[in-house]
Amino acid sequence: MCEEIYSDWTFSDREAFKSVFLEIVTALASLYMEAKDSKLAEKLLLKVLSIDPYNEEVCCMLLVLYITVNQRSRAAKLYSDFENRLVKDLDIMPDKKLSGMIKDLP
């Protein structure tokens, strides 16, 4: 029975549950950011990116977090890695909002 969880017929349910999980974790990270708990917010946002590596919204949230806690080098590295992943894997550039955030770094 356990091996059936990865059968083709369960794919749509797995994807739906994954989507709900990612939404909940992202919302929780947002709450942690509002509460100024950057460590927990970062942990959750990195978890979401590990599952959904092309999520521009989450990348943007993480950039805001790094900029807010004065981790500009981490923000720049995150953006560079994210941009490279999008270009290499999908042959697209990140949204202008993301690139604008990095260009505005002091």
User: For the segment 36-45, what is each residue's pLDDT rounded down to a tens digit?
Assistant: 999 999 999 9
Across 5-9, 22-26, 33-37, 43-47, least confident range? 5-9
pTM above 0.75, yes or no: yes
DSSP the chain: -GGGGGSGGGHHHHHHHHHHHHHHHHHHHHHHHHTT-HHHHHHHHHHHHHHSTT-HHHHHHHHHHHHHTT-HHHHHHHHHHHHHHIIIIIS-PPPHHHHHHHHT--
Q: Please, is 45 exposed, middle or buried when counting C-beta atoms within 10 Å of its C-beta (0-12, 13-18, 19+)?
A: buried
What local confidence, expressed as pLDDT, does residue 3 receive?
Answer: 66
What local confidence, expressed as pLDDT, does residue 2 receive?
Answer: 58
User: For the segment 48-104, what is each residue's pLDDT rounded down to a tens digit?
Assistant: 999 999 999 999 999 999 999 999 999 999 999 999 999 999 999 999 999 998 887
What local confidence, expressed as pLDDT, does residue 59 receive?
Answer: 98
Going along the chain from its start, the domains and CATH numbers come out as: 6-103 (1.25.40.10)
pLDDT at 5 over 80: no
